[in-house]
Structure 1
Amino acid sequence: MTKTAVYDVQKSERPYFSEEHLMFRDSLRKFLEKEAIPYFEQWEEDRLVPRSFWTKLGQNGFLCPYVCEEYGGVNGDFGLSIILTEELGRVGAGLAGPGTHSNVIVPYLDSFGTEEQKRKYLPGCVSGDIITAIAMTEPGTGSDLANIRTTAIKDGDSYIINGQKTFITNGIHSDLIVVACKTDPTANPPHKGVSLLLVEKDTPGFSRGRKLKKVGMHAQDTSELIFEDVKVPATNLLGEEGQGFKYLMSKLQQERILAAIGGQVAAEDMLDITIQYVKEREAFGQSISKFQNTQFTIAEIATEVQLGRTFIDQLIVRHQNEEEIVTEVSMAKWWITDMARRISSKCMQLHGGYGYMEEYKIARRYRDIAISPIFAGTNEIMKVIIAKKLGM
């Protein structure tokens, strides 16, 4: 991040960034240069980002900046969430945890929480003292959220939760978990029985399973969560009973824009480091950037990367204008993440044998990007959504 990019589509400022946005970005970049970049490789080896980093992010005002001032935030807009996603992503995909906390999970609490819930949890979410997770995916249920099996049965003024969740981002560090569960297992259609409940880490019956070993994104902790007769008060219900599926769907447009942004940032970074490498590397007495095959490959990649940036920038503006753009967001999510995965192998190939070495960033990008077409709704699901929106 301290090195000037050879190819940088960010150098022309985007219209949706104000002076305040740029000040926030510059401050975050300086913070990451000091507090993240020197330690990131060690965090990748440790397969965990330390809690101290979360606390520093919070102390400097980088977590959940959209939260109202009365709860500790700065009442910022979506532009700040974009910047947080991009700048963490430029360091490495293993820093996805704080972005997921800020931009995906806490918005549920901010939008649907009661006044009591907001006062209890939001200040800690902003400061980094409370790390959140959202527990949707189950061992036998991926994108089919309407048919989750985790139950929360009403018992007087409490709910009793039973079930298992897997692939949970921030699962190891999490202090507060938003759990998608069935409060009415017999509901027809099934999605009418889904509700969201807040579970604190020390609640009896709640435990963490394995910290999962992933192909990539090593520093980002991902785990299984287990709920065995977990009793939570009815006041822990987030929003209304039976509305959980609706709440989840309402936030997916923003989540998938952020997923597309993550893929775009990775693609831009891969292109940049590859251009730098081919200019510096020599073979047969000249820079390999002079070979026509290299030039053609880079030209093709650069074109796709620019197309992705143009598309996502347009959608960001439309999302900020509160337009319903589910079709276009689904298109961006699948195309950009698929493009990023596709170019990763081309960029690695241009690095030759060195591209397969962990000390070269392209190797980490290659393994990290593989998950992007899978999370936030698989790209196959994105195509199903697009087809339905087209009347098919």
Structure 2
Amino acid sequence: MSTVDILDEQERLVVETVRDFVDKDVKPVVAELEHANTYPESLIDQMKEMGVFGLTIPEEYGGTSVSTPCYVLVTEELARGWMSLAGAMGGHTVVSKLLLHFGTDEQKNRYLPKMATGEIRATMALTEPGGGSDLQAMTTQAHRDETGYVVNGTKTWITNSRRSQLIALLCKTDPAADPAHKGISILLAEHGPGLTVSRDLPKLGYKGVESCELSFADYRAPADAILGGTEGRGFAQMMKGLETGRIQVACRALGVGRAALEDALAYSQDRESFGKPIWKHQSVGNYLADMATKLTAARQLTLHAAHEADAGRRVDMEAGMAKLYASEAAMEIALNAVRVHGGYGYSTEFDVERYFRDAPLMIVGEGTNEIQRNVIASQLVARGGLDA
């Protein structure tokens, strides 16, 4: 049974449409765009036209909400073409989910219809220069006054922040709160005076889309900009959002791993040594077998998390497992694709060197894999075991 057979006919068509887009429009241009670190304006516009930015938004707001397994396979297809394209809609979908789960009616009506079409693209701002994965140690503060909030602080590694119109900003509205997480809120921030996108960070991979530092200096936001309208709920809200985010990162890893496997498999059949295709040499064949097995296992873990999410269950452990395993598998598969290609794997004329540069992002992004192991272990204890 094909993986897409788990979807209904309409959702299969969605995945097939994105797959055709990747094969016909992305793959022929990705090497040139990636090596020039050029923002893929035309490809993003095509994604808007296909409705990709509205896949987690219900029809009542103009979207085409699909199941989470469908979203997994769509994201995998995008990342198979270019991981940066999947990244361009990753934070956007997390913010969509945050608004759907926690936003006021006014917030939903203001943002979701334009987010569904991609007219408004959204991102989230969590990480700070000195905090990393320790979100409770953040120093960005939003001080309430008679007209709204005054924000000061710095965020870093914020993807799409230069071109996104909406930023879900995690900040402290009560710095003295004990425990600290009760003083954290999500502020829906739009670009304006006091918000500076200070610089694009240079990166090993993940080219094309920007990852930036954000500086808030007496930035003002209205009183109704707090997600859900109530202060102090932001940490729990964002932890729920990160369940979607970590599934999304796992999907990106699937796409990179699949692209690397497909290229290695094709090359191993074309390239000959000692009178036979190199896949027939046991060492190369073993690489291919292990790559395919680990990719399949990673996809099943990710789909399991997706099904559990659609069942309405808490999936921080399942999403953490999927993100942990898929990202580590993608890194190994990308390295082995370089091995299979031999010297050509080190050449920028072949795509496998790009996969090898892109794969590490999924290991450290959306919470490092060390953090994922902490989440998994704590949930194992809290739930009383794996199958309790």
Please, what TM-score do these two structures have when normalized by structure 1?
A: 0.91
**2:223 matched to 1:234?**
yes
Letter in 2 for 1:267: G
Alpha-carbon distance in structure 2 between the residues aligned to 1:125 and 1:48: 23
Alpha-carbon distance in structure 1 between the residues aligned to 2:251 and 2:287: 23
User: Which residue, out of 360, 364, 380, partners 2:354?
Assistant: 364
CA displacement, residues 104-137 of structure 1 (integer Å, 9 cap, x when unaligned): 2222123222222222222221222212121110
Give the secondary structure class of the aligned counterpart of 1:161.
strand
Q: Which is further off, 31-40 or 139-148?
A: 31-40
Deviation at 1:172, TM superposition (A): 1.8
Partner of 2:143: 153
Partner of 1:8: none
User: Which residue, out of 5, 18, 26, partners 2:8?
Assistant: 18
Contact 1:181 1:195 in 2 (8 A): yes
Alpha-carbon distance in structure 2 between the residues aligned to 1:227 and 1:363: 37
Partner of 2:364: 374
Q: Kindly tell me: are residues 177 and 387 of structure 1, through their superposed partners in 2, closer, same or farther at Cα, counting changes over 3 Å?
A: same
Alpha-carbon distance in structure 1 between the residues aligned to 2:380 and 2:60: 43
Seq. identity, %: 35
Contact 1:178 1:197 in 2 (8 A): yes
User: Which residue, out of 50, 54, 58, partners 2:48?
Assistant: 58
User: Which residue, out of 102, 105, 109, partners 2:99?
Assistant: 109
User: Which residue, out of 93, 100, 117, partners 1:127?
Assistant: 117
Alpha-carbon distance in structure 1 between the residues aligned to 2:321 and 2:55: 28
User: Which residue, out of 48, 63, 70, partners 2:60?
Assistant: 70
Partner of 1:219: 208
Alpha-carbon distance in structure 2 between the residues aligned to 1:276 and 1:267: 14
Deviation at 1:15, TM superposition (A): 5.1
**2:235 matched to 1:245?**
yes
CA displacement, residues 287-325 of structure 1 (integer Å, 9 cap, x when unaligned): 212212112222222222222233333332222212233
Partner of 1:354: 344
Contact 1:138 1:148 in 2 (8 A): yes
Letter in 2 for 1:127: T
Q: Kindly tell me: are residues 300 and 34 of structure 1, through their superposed partners in 2, closer, same or farther at Cα, counting changes over 3 Å?
A: closer
Contact 2:58 2:65 in 1 (8 A): yes
Alpha-carbon distance in structure 1 between the residues aligned to 2:309 and 2:59: 23
Q: Which is further off, 332-341 or 76-85?
A: 76-85
Alpha-carbon distance in structure 2 between the residues aligned to 1:125 and 1:291: 51
Partner of 1:84: 74
Alpha-carbon distance in structure 2 between the residues aligned to 1:302 and 1:66: 29
Q: Kindly tell me: are residues 90 and 159 of structure 1, through their superposed partners in 2, closer, same or farther at Cα, counting changes over 3 Å?
A: same
Partner of 1:342: 332
Contact 1:81 1:103 in 2 (8 A): no
Deviation at 1:252, TM superposition (A): 2.1
Alpha-carbon distance in structure 2 between the residues aligned to 1:219 and 1:310: 30
Structure 1 segment 163-182 matched on structure 2, within 5 A: 163-182=153-172
Alpha-carbon distance in structure 2 between the residues aligned to 1:304 and 1:32: 23
Q: Which is further off, 162-171 or 65-74?
A: 65-74
Give the secondary structure class of the aligned counterpart of 1:351.
helix
Deviation at 1:190, TM superposition (A): 0.8
User: Which residue, out of 199, 208, 227, partners 1:210?
Assistant: 199
Q: Which is further off, 359-368 or 277-286?
A: 277-286
Contact 1:21 1:79 in 2 (8 A): no
Q: Which is further off, 135-144 or 112-121?
A: 112-121
Letter in 1 for 2:120: I
Alpha-carbon distance in structure 2 between the residues aligned to 1:156 and 1:248: 27
Contact 1:65 1:80 in 2 (8 A): no
Letter in 1 for 2:215: I
Q: Kindly tell me: are residues 281 and 250 of structure 1, through their superposed partners in 2, closer, same or farther at Cα, counting changes over 3 Å?
A: same
Aligned residues, how many? 381
Structure 2 alignment gaps of length 5 or more:
383-388
Alpha-carbon distance in structure 1 between the residues aligned to 2:72 and 2:298: 15
Contact 2:86 2:252 in 1 (8 A): no
User: Which residue, out of 22, 26, 41, partners 1:36?
Assistant: 26
Contact 1:47 1:221 in 2 (8 A): no
Contact 1:133 1:171 in 2 (8 A): yes
Contact 1:89 1:96 in 2 (8 A): yes
Contact 1:288 1:294 in 2 (8 A): yes
Contact 1:137 1:165 in 2 (8 A): yes
Partner of 1:5: none
Deviation at 1:256, TM superposition (A): 1.5
CA displacement, residues 184-229 of structure 1 (integer Å, 9 cap, x when unaligned): 011111111111111111x111110111110011122111111000
**2:267 matched to 1:308?**
no
Please, what TM-score do these two structures have when normalized by structure 2?
A: 0.92
Letter in 1 for 2:216: F
Letter in 1 for 2:288: I
Alpha-carbon distance in structure 2 between the residues aligned to 1:27 and 1:296: 33
